[in-house]
Amino acid sequence: MKLLSGDIGGTKTWLQLAHFDGNTLTVLARQKYVSSAYNNAATMVSEFLTETGHQDLKIDGACFAVAGPIINGRVQLTNLPWDVNESTVAKELNIPCVVLINDFQAIGYGTDALEEKDLHTLQTGSPRPQATRALIGAGTGLGVALMSNDGEKYTVMPTEGGHVDFGPTNDIQMELLAYLRRKLHRVSVERVLSGQGLVNIYKFICDNPLYGEEESRELQFAMHNEDPAAAISRFATENNDPMARRALDIFVDLYGAQAGNLALMSLPYGGIYIVGGIAPKMLPQLTDGRFMKAYSDKGRMSRMLDDFPIHIVLDTQIGLKGAALYAARVCSQ
C-alpha cells in the first residue's frame, strides 16, 4: 500500500509518503511545511506530492494526526483556521480512504514501527508479550495514553491524564503547588509538566531564590526572544545557571514521579514509552538517575515498578509513522 500521513499543527505540518508491505514501513518522502502559509490541507498535500515527484502516484489511504477533538470525521483546528473533513479531503485529493486521528493516538500506533535505534531504554524490566503499554509525553501539553492488545493488534486508548491533579511529593513541590494555587483556580499536573510547566517552575524559583541567587538577565532576554522553556533548559545545561538548573531538576523529579503514577494505574508490562519533543532534548537529565529515583519512590509498591520496561523514544517522527500504520489498518478493510 502507498500511504500518505500527516502531523498537522498550528505552526508546522509534517507530511510523509510511505510504502507498507504488511510488515515494513518504508518512507518514500517526508517534508515540513509552515501551516499558516496554506488555506487548507489539500492544497498543502498537492504541493508536497508535486515537489517530491509523486503527483501521479496512486495513494491507497491517508491518515492525518491532529491536535483537537475529531467529531464525525471532522475537526476544527484550534490554532489554525482549517476545517478538516475526511470526506472532503478524500474527494479533493482523489484518495479512496482518508481518516483523522488524535495526534497522541498516532504516536501510540507508531510504537509498532520503532526499531532499537529509536529507543533509549531506562529499565529493561520483565516484559510480557501483548501486555498493556503506557505512553506519557511532555511537550506543548502533557499527553497520556494506554494501549491494549486483543491478541492480534494494539489499540490506543486516549486519555486526559495530563489534567489530573498535581500531587506534590516533597516540601519544595508543596511550596510550588501553593505558589501556583495563588495564580490558578486548580493546578493540574500539566501546569508543571510541559513546556509552559517548566516556565512556571522557573518563575517559582525566581520568586523564591536561595541565598546569593540572582535571575540571569541573559536568560530573561533569551526567554523573551525564543521558546522560553528551551531557553531555560539550555541555560541550565550549557551555562550551568543555578536557578535554571534547579527548575530543571524539579521538572525531572515531577516527570519521573508521574511516570511512576502511570505505571501503578496501568501495570504496563508491555512498556512505558516516554514520548514527545522534550524528552530527546533532555536525554542527559533523564538518564542520570534522577528520573528513575522519582519514578520508583512509591513506598511499598516500589518493587513492582522494577518489572515495567521504560523507554525514551528518540524518533521525533513517530506520529507520522503511527498515522501511516493506522491508515494501513483502516483502509485495507
Residue 166 pLDDT > 90: yes
Give the pLDDT confidence of 60-96 residue by residue, as tens digits: 999 999 877 889 999 887 678 888 999 999 999 999 9
User: Do the annotations mark residue 162 as ligand-binding?
Assistant: no
Amino acid identity, residue 171?
D
CA distances from 151 to 74, 117, 208, 266 (A): 31, 26, 52, 18
Give the pLDDT confidence of 213-267 residue by residue, as tens digits: 899 999 999 999 999 999 999 999 999 999 999 999 999 999 999 999 999 999 9
pLDDT on residue 324: 95
Residue 188 pLDDT > 80: yes
**CATH number for the segment(s) 116-314:** 3.40.367.20
Percentages helix, strand, coil for the chain, rounded to the nearest 5? 45, 25, 30
Average pLDDT over the chain, rounded to an integer: 93
User: Do the annotations mark residue 7 as ligand-binding?
Assistant: yes
Give the pLDDT confidence of 193-212 residue by residue, as tens digits: 999 999 999 999 999 999 88
- Percentage with pLDDT > 70 across the chain: 100
Quickly tell me which residue has 491494549 as its cell: 148
Query: Which residue ranges make up each domain of the chain?
Result: 2-109+317-331, 116-314
Can you identify the CATH homologous superfamily of domain 2-109+317-331?
ATPase, nucleotide binding domain (3.30.420.40)
User: Do the annotations mark residue 11 as ligand-binding?
Assistant: yes
- Percentage with pLDDT > 90 across the chain: 83
> Residue 109 — pLDDT band, cuts 50, 70, 90?
very high
DSSP secondary structure string, 122-187? EE-----TT--EEEEEESSSEEEEEEEE-SS-EEEEE--GGGSBP---SHHHHHHHHHHHTT-S--
User: Do the annotations mark residue 8 as ligand-binding?
Assistant: yes
User: Do the annotations mark residue 21 as ligand-binding?
Assistant: no
Give the pLDDT confidence of 16-46 residue by residue, as tens digits: 999 999 888 899 999 999 988 999 899 999 9
Q: Left (φ > 0), alpha (ψ -120 to 50) or beta: where does 75 sit?
A: beta
Using an 8 Å Cβ cutoff, are 73 and 85 in contact?
Answer: yes
Using an 8 Å Cβ cutoff, are 219 and 232 in contact?
Answer: yes
CA distances from 275 to 83, 189, 301, 311 (A): 28, 16, 24, 9
pLDDT on residue 80: 80
> Residue 131 — pLDDT band, cuts 50, 70, 90?
very high
User: Do the annotations mark residue 141 as ligand-binding?
Assistant: no
